[in-house]
Amino acid sequence: MEIRQHEWLSASPHEGFEQMRLKSRPKEPSPSLTRVGANFYSSVKQQDYSASVWLRRKDKLEHSQQKCIVIFALVCCFAILVALIFSAVDIMGEDEDGLSEKNCQNKCRIALVENIPEGLNYSENAPFHLSLFQGWMNLLNMAKKSVDIVSSHWDLNHTHPSACQGQRLFEKLLQLTSQNIEIKLVSDVTADSKVLEALKLKGAEVTYMNMTAYNKGRLQSSFWIVDKQHVYIGSAGLEWQSLGQMKELGVIFYNCSCLVLDLQRIFALYSSLKFKSRVPQTWSKRLYGVYDNEKKLQLQLNETKSQAFVSNSPKLFCPKNRSFDIDAIYSVIDDAKQYVYIAVMDYLPISSTSTKRTYWPDLDAKIREALVLRSVRVRLLISFWKETDPLTFNFISSLKAICTEIANCSLKVKFFDLERENACATKEQKNHTFPRLNRNKYMVTDGAAYIGKATWKVWKNHKLAWKVWKSKSRESCRHRNMPRNPSTLLTGWSCFPLLNGGINILTRSYSLGFSFISTAFFQVGLWLELSKAIFLNLRQFKSRCVENPPPPPLPRNP
């Protein structure tokens, strides 16, 4: 048997051992393979690092975005909160001039002002009061800083012969604009007035209220605020007819900043609606009423302790703590224990159109309740003019019939025909083309007095707002089944001799729409006595005309 020796056995033992050792070792990778493996490992490791870095960055980015969203939301909430605070919180209970209940003046002087139409003359012993024109001019002469006026009419610069007082008033307003006196005027947007345009060009701030956009209505308020100290409230608007043709009544408060504090908020409410087509859902607290029927202003009027508050209408414009006008009127009638004296331009709790008839008996029912349940004496003074509706006499007859069979029921109604009383007017004045009527609007009871701009015809409950009724026909009522002398229709009633004041009762209108009323209620004190004197002291006309009647005495300088 042949035995072949392996090659590595053929060598020397030492050499074979070395070869065997070398053979038994694992093969070392080639340099290229090593480089590939290293690169692959490095690449995987680098990708893993990149992925981890990207994930960390993504987490940071998401966290940053979340923080930004949270911060943005907090900023928005803070901005909204600040806006709500400044719009709904009254800082320190003050107005923009720092006036508050703590530092306001409640010791006031009060003066009644009235306009007597030209051609009407009274007996020598008849009571006289400051004329409306002189009262307004006194306020403008006292102005040093500001004049704020709300009026539904702005027609002062007229060419009519009796418009001279209106022209003088307009010239005075123009003069104030050049004396660095801030003048703010509020009017209805329907008032196309050259007077307002002229004052606006001179620097006056004019605000137009678009009542049609709010409730298809019209502005009817009439009040002044001068230097945040003096106030006028009454029936007259800034038109020459109020100073020449109409019987108007108003009241002026001197040095009465506490009343201004409340009335200024109504003015601010009107001004805040500039260029707006809707009222806000929530009123600013700066527009809340300061005093109302529950919390009356305690003040002294001509050194006599009294109470007062301001009411407004419609309900849409009554923020918190602001008395609604009709509710205030109800409370005055309900609180009367002895008498209620009311002067009105119209008394008609019904209005009719070709398509709709509306009946609103609320105020009429209040008068009946006072007569029947509480035996309160009621006196009504109603204006008689060419647009007096014949139905007025039917409703008055119904009121009169209540007292025919009830004991202690006292009702007297008289009609005031300004045209008939104008016996001493000149031929030019008698042939005028403008209506002349009694537009006084006030009420007096044994506990309170009311004065304002409201007429009481038919009250429309839609949106709880006043409406001013106007007859559909321009035809004279005297030619529509109505006697020339209303006393022939209502036995024992006659036209009222001209009083020193009057009020409009039950008014509502489907033609003019919603009206605004700013009124003042005054309880106790000298104001009550003055109002009673106005209503009870009937003026007697002279039998002959007086060429130059004596002017009324001027009040002391406030």
CATH number of residue 169's parent domain: 3.30.870.10
pLDDT band at 534 (very low <50, low <70, confident <90, very high): very low
Note whether 177 and 260 are same-domain residues.
yes
Note whether 66 and 134 are same-domain residues.
no
Tell me what pLDDT residue 26 has. Answer: 53
- Specify the higher pLDDT residue, 507 or 402: 402
Note whether 56 and 157 are same-domain residues.
no
Tell me what pLDDT residue 542 has. Answer: 34
Note whether 332 and 192 are same-domain residues.
yes
Backbone angles phi, psi at 538, to 5 degrees: -75, 140
Helix (H, G, I), strand (E, B) or coil at 226: strand
Closest Cα partner for 536 from 371, 376, 401, 412? 412
Lowest mean pLDDT among 158-167, 227-236, 414-423: 414-423
Note whether 146 and 251 are same-domain residues.
yes
For residues 388 and 284, what is the distance between their CA atoms, to the nearest angstrom?
42
Note whether 132 and 266 are same-domain residues.
yes
pLDDT band at 457 (very low <50, low <70, confident <90, very high): low
- Specify the higher pLDDT residue, 452 or 155: 155
Domain stop point among 88, 121, 154: 88
Helix (H, G, I), strand (E, B) or coil at 453: coil
Question: Do you know the residue count of the chain?
Answer: 558
Boundaries of domain holding 58: 38-88
- Specify the higher pLDDT residue, 375 or 389: 375
pLDDT band at 362 (very low <50, low <70, confident <90, very high): confident
Backbone angles phi, psi at 61, to 5 degrees: -65, -45
Domain count, the chain: 2
Per-residue buried b or exposed e for 372-393, using 16+ beta carbons within 10 Å of the residue's own CB? eeeebbbbbbbbbbebbbeebb
Using an 8 Å Cβ cutoff, are 113 and 132 in contact? yes
Tell me what pLDDT residue 79 has. Answer: 77
The answer to whether residue 479 scores a pLDDT higher than 70 is no
Query: Residue 314: is the preceding peptide bond cis (ω within 30°)?
Result: yes
For residues 436 and 160, what is the distance between their CA atoms, to the nearest angstrom?
14
The per-residue pLDDT for range 44-84, each reduced to its tens digit, is: 555 565 656 556 666 666 667 777 787 878 888 787 776 65
Q: Residues of the chain with pLDDT > 70: what percent? A: 63
Flag whether the pTM goes above 0.85: no
Quick check: is 278 in a domain?
Answer: yes
Closest Cα partner for 326 from 507, 512, 528, 525? 507
Q: Tokens 């012969």 sit at which residue?
A: 161
Q: Which amino acid is at 105?
A: Q
Element containing residue 84 per DSSP (H, E)? helix 31-88
Tell me what pLDDT residue 349 has. Answer: 85
E strands within 417-470? 442-445, 448-451, 466-467
Note whether 108 and 83 are same-domain residues.
no
For residues 265 and 231, what is the distance between their CA atoms, to the nearest angstrom?
13
The per-residue pLDDT for range 169-217, each reduced to its tens digit, is: 999 999 999 998 999 999 988 777 899 999 999 999 999 988 777 777 7
pLDDT band at 12 (very low <50, low <70, confident <90, very high): low
Tell me what pLDDT residue 507 has. Answer: 26
Using an 8 Å Cβ cutoff, are 121 and 542 in contact? yes
- Specify the higher pLDDT residue, 325 or 368: 368
Tokens found for residue 538: 């009937």
Note whether 65 and 163 are same-domain residues.
no
pLDDT band at 380 (very low <50, low <70, confident <90, very high): very high
DSSP letters for 335-396: H-SSEEEEEES---SEEE-SS-EEE--HHHHHHHHHHHHS--EEEEEEE--TT--THHHHHH
Using an 8 Å Cβ cutoff, are 272 and 287 in contact? yes
Mean pLDDT score of the chain, rounded to an integer? 72
Whole-number CA gyration radius for the chain: 42
Burial zone of 530 (CB within 10 Å; 0-12 exposed, 13-18 middle, 19+ buried): buried
In the DSSP assignment, the letter for residue 119 is: T
Note whether 55 and 116 are same-domain residues.
no
Note whether 163 and 128 are same-domain residues.
yes
Using an 8 Å Cβ cutoff, are 156 and 169 in contact? yes
- Specify the higher pLDDT residue, 140 or 22: 140
- Specify the higher pLDDT residue, 377 or 188: 377
Note whether 97 and 78 are same-domain residues.
no
Side-chain half-sphere CA neighbours of 128 within 13 A: 15
pLDDT band at 508 (very low <50, low <70, confident <90, very high): very low
Note whether 253 and 275 are same-domain residues.
yes
- Mean pLDDT, residues 518-540 taken together: 44
Alpha helices in 178-279, H assignment, sequence order: 194-201, 211-215, 240-244, 257-272
The per-residue pLDDT for range 78-104, each reduced to its tens digit, is: 877 766 555 444 433 445 567 888 889
